[in-house]
Amino acid sequence: MLDKFFRPKSVAVIGASTHPNKVGHVILWNFIRGFKGSVYPVNPSHDTVLGLKCYKTVKDIPEDVDLAVIAIPAEFVPSALKDCGKKGVKHVIIVSGGFSEIGRNDLEDEIEKIRKKYNIRVIGPNCIGVFDAYSQVDTLFMPRYRLERPRKGRISFVSQSGAVGSAILDWAAAKGFGFSKFISYGNACDVDEVDLLDYLEKDKTTGVIGMYIEGTRRGRELYNSLKRITKKKPVIVIKGGKTKAGSKAASSHTGALAGSARVWEAMLKQSGAIIADDIRRMFNYSRLLAEQPLPKGKRIGIVTNGGGFGVIASDALEKYGLELANLDKKTIDVIKKHVPEYAVVKNPVDLVGDADAHRYEIALDALLEDNNVDVILVLILFQTAGVQSEIIDIIASKSDQKKKPIIAFSAGGDFTQVHMRMLEKVGVPVFDSLEEAADAIKKMYLYSVSVGNAE
């Protein structure tokens, strides 16, 4: 069971330091500022660290310890892990590098022997560990003023690379995307991508699983887990090491065998996983699948206050094999009663440049009731005088009904960016590229088909 990695009651930070630039200092500070359980610094050179009593070894801590985080030079890690075993600590995260990724297989083999002897579950080594937005377990050794942590949400991300993972978290926080858990598992001497997928399958705060993976030692088990889990939760995978050069780099990075790109692609498709070509697309797909209900079909209704963007959206949707919905006559009649004569009431529904939030609300209500519409794409130019901040609450309230997916698009400067983040924070995915929006809607539709929710 891996639950103590994410919801421990007590944590020991082995390698806690008084120096602000040291990894052990940053990790300890992360726990002090957010974690509600007990925190114990461990370092034989200090009596106190950040105002907490510091222990010479983990064995000296008088209370039980659920989780230990080891952040010391590689050669001292086996001894620290042995102390954890004697103390009865069953969950350990080793952030230290300097093991099989640089050819020190002997050190990694020693860790494996110790953990087996004491029945310890280990994440790492050579990783940045775990961030849980709900429990505030945070072993990331990047200060929060440099790497912002995302808000609570339903996306969990598993990464073989700490660097990729940290950039993803920082970007997610800046954009207002919500996270449940992040796990960087590095060399995977014990806990690997299969174990983490199996855990996240049952995790109630995880709605969508994202993965960055370079290689695996358990190909058959990975396939079986993906095939089972994707029937319950979407799994979106970025595969690193697809080229010859990338495969070689992956091997030197975490010691992983990247394998044939064609074999990986076939395996992922057959398992039901969604393949993303890059981090941005992974988030595009994740946001829709985490925040919105699955569509019943691929017929899109567009509402806009700028006719040109409606045309561009129509082109993008058709490019990705989606369809413009044929609006029901009742829908058209209802909207026409509440908009000026110069508004264009067809699909796209062009509310024109003087549209206000009330006009948007009328159109959204009508499209939500139209059985010919499967997905609603809302295009908003915040530069127009009629659109005020109240439109955020209106779109959020319609999205909260979970009748149909509602996706927003906007583009512009600072004022627009503020409102785009506001939409994200209330659970409405918003895009600044209509091509990317169409691509994400298509992926959501295909997943809906794969689980029998759409034709």
Residues 312 and 404 in one domain: yes
On the question of pLDDT at 75 being above 70, the answer is yes
Whether 140 maps to a domain, the answer reads no
On the question of pLDDT at 416 being above 90, the answer is yes
Residues 65-92: what's their mean pLDDT?
98
Residues 273 and 157 in one domain: yes
Whether 141 maps to a domain, the answer reads no
User: How far is the C-alpha of 157 from the C-alpha of 137, rounded, in Å?
Assistant: 15
Whether 131 maps to a domain, the answer reads no
Report pTM: 0.91
On the question of pLDDT at 243 being above 70, the answer is no
User: How far is the C-alpha of 102 from the C-alpha of 128, rounded, in Å?
Assistant: 17
Whether 134 maps to a domain, the answer reads no
Point out the domain boundary residue: 74, 96, 126. Answer: 126
Give me the residue label for tokens 């127009």. Answer: 384
For the domain that residue 165 is a member of, what is the CATH number?
A: 3.40.50.261
Whether 136 maps to a domain, the answer reads no
Residues 192 and 328 in one domain: no
User: How far is the C-alpha of 127 from the C-alpha of 282, rounded, in Å?
Assistant: 21
Whether 443 maps to a domain, the answer reads yes
Percent of the chain residues past pLDDT 90, beyond the cut? 85
Residues 74-96: what's their mean pLDDT?
97
**pLDDT score recorded for residue 246:** 44
**pLDDT score recorded for residue 244:** 53
Residues 219 and 80 in one domain: no
**pLDDT score recorded for residue 23:** 96
Is residue 332 a contact partner of residue 345, using CB atoms and an 8 Å limit?
yes
User: How far is the C-alpha of 415 from the C-alpha of 394, rounded, in Å?
Assistant: 18
Is residue 302 a contact partner of residue 379, using CB atoms and an 8 Å limit?
yes
Residues 160 and 286 in one domain: yes
**pLDDT score recorded for residue 445:** 97
Residues 278-296: what's their mean pLDDT?
93
On the question of pLDDT at 252 being above 80, the answer is no
**pLDDT score recorded for residue 223:** 97
Is residue 1 a contact partner of residue 58, using CB atoms and an 8 Å limit?
no
Residues 304 and 382 in one domain: yes
**Mean pLDDT, rounded, of the chain:** 93
Residues 111 and 190 in one domain: no
Residues 401 and 274 in one domain: no
Point out the domain boundary residue: 291, 310, 336. Answer: 291
Percent of the chain residues past pLDDT 70, beyond the cut? 96
**pLDDT score recorded for residue 176:** 86
Residues 363-378: what's their mean pLDDT?
98
Task: Report which of 305, 274, 310 is spatially closest to residue 290, judged by C-alpha positions.
Answer: 274
Whether 98 maps to a domain, the answer reads yes
Domain total of the chain: 3
Residues 35 and 109 in one domain: yes
Residues 127-156: what's their mean pLDDT?
94
Tokens of 239: 């595969």
Residues 111 and 162 in one domain: no
Is residue 303 a contact partner of residue 376, using CB atoms and an 8 Å limit?
yes
For the domain that residue 119 is a member of, what is the CATH number?
A: 3.40.50.720
Whether 455 maps to a domain, the answer reads no
Residues 272 and 301 in one domain: no
Task: Give pLDDT tens digits for 180-235.
Answer: 999 999 999 999 999 999 999 999 999 999 999 999 999 999 999 999 999 999 99
For 221, the domain range is 147-291
Q: How confident is the model at residue 253 (pLDDT cuts 50, 70, 90)?
A: very low
Point out the domain boundary residue: 91, 126, 161. Answer: 126
Residues 314 and 446 in one domain: yes
CA distances from 44 to 4, 23, 98, 185 (A): 26, 16, 22, 27
